[in-house]
Chain A
Amino acid sequence: MLALFYIFLAVAVALGIWQVNRLTSYGKVILRNDKNEEVTAISKLEENPLATEKDNDLHGKLFLVFLIGFYILMAYCLFFLNDLMLPESASIEGENDDNLFLISFVMIGIVQFATQGLLFYFAYKYRGINNRKALFYADSHKLELIWTTVPAIALTLLIGYGLYTWNDVMDLSDAEDPIVIEVYAQQFNWQARYAGADNTLGRGNVRNIKGINTMGVDMTDANSADDIPVRELHLPKGRKVVFKFRSQDVLHSAYMPHFRAQMNCVPGMVTEFGFTPKFTTEEMRVQEETVRKVARVNKVRKEKGEDPYEFDYLLLCNKICGASHYNMQMKIVVEEEADFYSWLKQQKTIAEVVK
């Protein structure tokens, strides 16, 4: 790859020198007028400074070539890079999101294909010829009406479906008996706290941070004692999970790409987001898309001599937060409900941890 770049660079430099040489050759020239007297002039001007017919022809055709190249690039990205994209949503709420994305993508794909085609084809087709006059065509209310209303209708559909999905995802009021988890961000770590038996989180504030109480849980709050602090997130399949996000220092963003979930963690306030996991980690690992992905990743890792990779859900930080922003992660495990509860039972409550 790098070699290709150096070759290109060498060609570019050579071309540059050649062209610059040409440029410096302009200058004063001595011409003779009708009376055979010497006159000085700047080197001769072309008859048509706009662009010669030859230029028009060349660059019109190049635009056509460019269009074909661009179509090839688009096709390559759609068919080959498509596999890089995230696998099917691992949350039930994310399904609508995926559908909406597909609809939007097909729509913009068609428009992109058509408009780029027209643009560059016209650039090729109507490349200038001397003595041809362009069509004087300044206005057409009919055409303008068409391309105002057609996008308007398409967008109305997208807005409608988009708002339905958005309300569905963001409205947490109707969740029955959700699992409540606090996700707590700090430079450059994630921590979490389960609401425990009463399913209510105890109050938290940075002013309570002391020793092992790293999340600043208010131990005087009756709801706090049964809360369970953890360093790894476990979620039950098929149950709605409601996350409450806090940050102790700067803005962070809790990004869980496989669940189509993201929310900023803002110092001084609690933000929330919720979803229902659809596949356990094990189920996800055997999915065809994931298997292909893991194989690709491991091919790269093998070349670099690194340990093989196994798929896991992740929580990443997605809001610039400082030097180690690039490495702020927490593993998420989705499991069957029974496994989840047996895991949760093994964890110590905060009352046991903070004596």
Chain B
Amino acid sequence: MSEHHHKETFVTKYIFSQDHKMISKQFLITGIIMGVIGVLMSMLFRLQIAWPEHSFSIVEAFLGHHQTDGVMDPDMYLALVTIHGTIMVFFVLTAGLSGTFSNLLIPLQIGARDMASGFMNMISYWMFFISSVIMVISLFVEAGPASAGWTIYPPLSALPQAIPGSGMGMTLWLVSMAIFVASSLIGSLNYIVTILNLRTKGMKMTRLPLTMWAFFITAIIGVVSFPVLLSAALLLIFDRSFGTSFYLSDIFISGEVLHYQGGSPVLFEHLFWFLGHPEVYIVLLPALGITSEVIATNSRKPIFGYRAMIGSIMAIAFLSTIVWGHHMFISGMNPFLGSVFTFTTLLIAIPSAVKAFNYITTLWKGNLQMNPAMLFSIGLVSTFITGGLTGIVLGDSALDINVHDTYFVVAHFHLVMGVSAIYGMYAGVYHWFPKMYGKMMDKTLGYWHFWITAIAAYGVFFPMHFIGLAGLPRRYYTNTAFPLFDDLSDVNVVITIFALIGGIGQIIFLVNFFMSIYKGKTAVQNPWRSTTLEWTTPVEGIHGNWPGKIPSVERWAYDYSKPGHDEDFVMQDVPLKDGEEES
């Protein structure tokens, strides 16, 4: 393929590119921009939680007519938490994480010239781009952006009388998400087809690196569950604009009875969480896949229990589609369903525990190379365990009654899917930056970045469990209306300080990332001395990936420190020696 030197213009190379490596960079940069917006919002509303009556000039500068004298309005507070959630979950941790690394790594690690359909891949990115733009535009509408929480439960999200954000802001939110779902579906289908059909000679499914397994299963979950969100959004659009009653019934608001009759918000909750829960794993599994790769490489050891890891990914994926009801224990659905969902939910702890133990065992008796990617991967295992364990409390319907929608939940999901997935994303960026840009990122800045982030993350989310257990509900504009919560205000101040430190600390990453693109040291072909196929391609990253023939695969991906070899790694395209057994 590389023999065809068809001319590439600026537009086909950098904008409407069909090359998976360029598309992955586009996803990453867009994800980073959205991430900056999302994190800034969280810092703004943390200011409000810690110092509710204090006037901040930064609030005045950012929020325009949604504030008075530097104190944000309650509606704007709700809008900020809503859009923060939406952006972080969908735009950063779904598209930014999966979009970036699935696109970059799938062809490179399975030995393919490109994705099955480069054109669809391009469309997938541009739909994501358009949906990002619409989401950002929605921040500037007169009445404010969507503000019914990222879960947009109707009737609050359906009635502009109930909250101003449910006007034009909500419409744009729904349009943006509909396009986002389409983008995600096109991308996922492409990933599945590529992994199934374009593997190079010798790349059996059981020789795929765990990153590939994670991306493959993630794509399948996405295809199964995202369409349900689309239908939920469409029905909500019908209710909002065409007067149907899918989710609405018996409503009296602003002094009048509305005509809606016979619908139920519980239906929306079912539809939403049928995506919403698998979404957690759509976010998390790629991060775990990246971690598997980074931990094995930098421990100089094979990943422990390769087959068990694949098994647990599959088990998690399967179970993730039958646990959504644990978000709805107290929604008014039949208590019997609560029992069923408690059972399936707690089952998920088993494959999750297997994964955590396998990571720890991989470190055991390794020869750990502490580069930034490795630090973030170890950090991920830590937050995954801390956050995962509190899931045992929340997944138990009887306990959920009392901690539902408190800060305990906020702490839980931020650790287990927010921080963990972000760590996975950082690990991936540090590890594969040489593959993206042919340069190395600065190690020392990477170290600073990790330690500040790690301390800030636990500083924010660990104490948060305890204010949740004190009964403090989430999404409260201020806690001063309840003297009951006055003694929690100190903890909230500490949390906010750590949040600001953590947020500002990410500047280190931004500087490192963008400076390294231009000024970083040139990378060697296989800087981490890794075994997988992407490190057999030339550093400069050519169209078609390999200049000559695609290498064929002769062994699994984890021959690190294998006895009988001089080097402590054997690449996947090296044939087995006489008498050598494949692991």
Chain A contact residues, CB within 8 Å of chain B:
1-2, 4-5, 8-9, 12, 15-16, 19-20, 22-24, 26-27, 42-43, 45, 49-51, 55-56, 58-60, 62-63, 66, 69-70, 73-74, 77, 81-82, 84-86, 94, 96-97, 100-101, 104-105, 107-108, 111-112, 115-116, 118-120, 122-123, 126-129, 132-140, 143-144, 147-148, 151-152, 155, 158-159, 162-163, 165-167, 169-171, 186-187, 205-207, 209, 216, 245, 248-251, 253, 255, 257-258, 260-264, 266-269, 271, 293, 296-297, 299-301, 306, 309, 314, 316-327, 329
Contact = CB atoms under 8 A, between A and B. Distances in A.
Interface in B356-388: 356-361, 363-371, 374-375, 378, 381-382, 385-386
Given A51-B371, A86-B470, A108-B390, A162 B458 contact: no
A108 B365 contact: no
A209 B252 contact: yes
Chain A interface mostly: helix
A104 B486 contact: no
A320 B469 contact: no
B398 interface: yes
A248 B252 contact: yes
A68 B443 CA distance: 25
A108 B393 contact: yes
B102 to A, nearest CB: 25
Grouping DSSP codes into helix (H, G, I), strand (E, B) and loop, the B interface class, with mixed when no group exceeds half, is helix
A16 B508 contact: yes
B528 interface: yes
B19 to A, nearest CB: 25
B331 interface: yes
Contacts, number: 419
Contact of B466 (A82, A144, A296): A82
Nearest to B309: A144
Contact of B159 (A26, A77, A250, A260): A250
Contact of A122 (B155, B305, B363, B440): B363
A15 B501 CA distance: 14
A346 B440 CA distance: 79
B277 interface: no
A105 B305 CA distance: 29
Contacts of B482: 314, 316, 329
Interface of B: 73-75, 78, 148-149, 153-156, 159, 162-163, 248-253, 257, 262-266, 298-308, 330-332, 335, 338-339, 342-343, 346-347, 349-350, 353-354, 356-361, 363-371, 374-375, 378, 381-382, 385-386, 389-390, 392-393, 396-399, 401-402, 404-406, 440, 442-445, 447-448, 451-452, 454-455, 458, 462-463, 465-467, 469-471, 473, 475-479, 481-484, 486-491, 493-494, 497, 500-501, 504-505, 507-508, 511-512, 515-516, 519-522, 524, 527-529, 558, 560-563, 568, 583
A50 B372 CA distance: 10
18 contacts: A5-B497, A62-B451, A119-B382, A122-B360, A133-B568, A135-B561, A138-B304, A139-B308, A144-B308, A147-B354, A166-B335, A169-B401, A249-B159, A250-B155, A266-B264, A301-B483, A306-B483, A309-B484
A115 B384 CA distance: 11
B393 A267 contact: no
B368 A101 contact: no
Interface centre among A143, A152, A248, A325, by most chain B C-beta atoms within 10 angstroms, is: A325
Contacts of B455: 66, 69
A320 B264 contact: no
A158 B476 contact: no
B353, B511, B516 — which one has the most chain A CB atoms within 10 A of its CB? B353
Contacts of A63: 378
Given A261-B401, A320-B156, A268 B264 contact: yes
